[in-house]
Structure 1
Amino acid sequence: MGKTGFWSHPLVESAGYFSVVVLCLVVSMVLFELVTKYKNWEEIRKGNFSVAMATGGKIFGVANIFRHSIQQHNSLPEMLGWGLFGFTLLVFAYILFEFFTPKFNIDKEIEADNRAVGFISLTISVGLSFVIGASIS
């Protein structure tokens, strides 16, 4: 069918990108669950606002990276590759955040519902997602 076929219809392409990004978000949340010392969804269920902010920042950050990747790349595999690369940089940034704060443990502070640390974690994830997104464009 070529370029005008079913698979190149904007609705089909949008559904494809959406599906892939949702799957990547699920995978990224599983990976962040492994990286953090606390159980994200258990803490959120208990009302830990700091964990909710930190997790929300990660979700926003991953989605924003993939937004940039979708805008700048012409194929699903290319978008996926750059998006995953951007996600890897975001995980690396989280590890650096922990490393550059030796006076206290980020994960312990967030688990203890230290909202200042939760907010900084959110801001770092969101802020760096814009930088990462611009760099993969």
Structure 2
Amino acid sequence: MSNFKEWRAEEIVKVFLLKSGYKFDIETFPTPMFDLFIKLKSNSEIKFAIEVKTKSRFQSRINKQLSSLKSYRDAGLINIPVFLIKVDEREEESEFDFLVFPSFKENQLLIRNEFRFIKLNKDNFKLKMDAVEKWYGRK
């Protein structure tokens, strides 16, 4: 049953992305580290990952993932921003934040340990996408 909930949560996120106003190529992430790999169709240089968690199993799953992420970072394998989306699949509502965020001050991608989730809607998503696009535009 939990696999179905996780699959459903991912599908809810995909539907949001398709309706977001952006044109994305959406693929399964090539490794188990994240769920989705996203490229902006109008500029394939702009890419990011998405990690989808169900609200009910969020805390237990994110703690384990954060420790894995740190070893990936230390090995130099984290090179794109990552959104973390927490889905209440029953209500079909989501909230999100960066899991790996572009830090312009340090000029690198950083792993977020404490999340400030905001409602996943077009306006909030655009704010975070603006940061992603700015990150790629600075090179």
TM-score, structure 1 normalization = 0.37
Q: Could you say which structure has the higher strand fraction?
A: 2
TM-score, structure 2 normalization = 0.36
Bigger radius of gyration, 1 or 2?
1
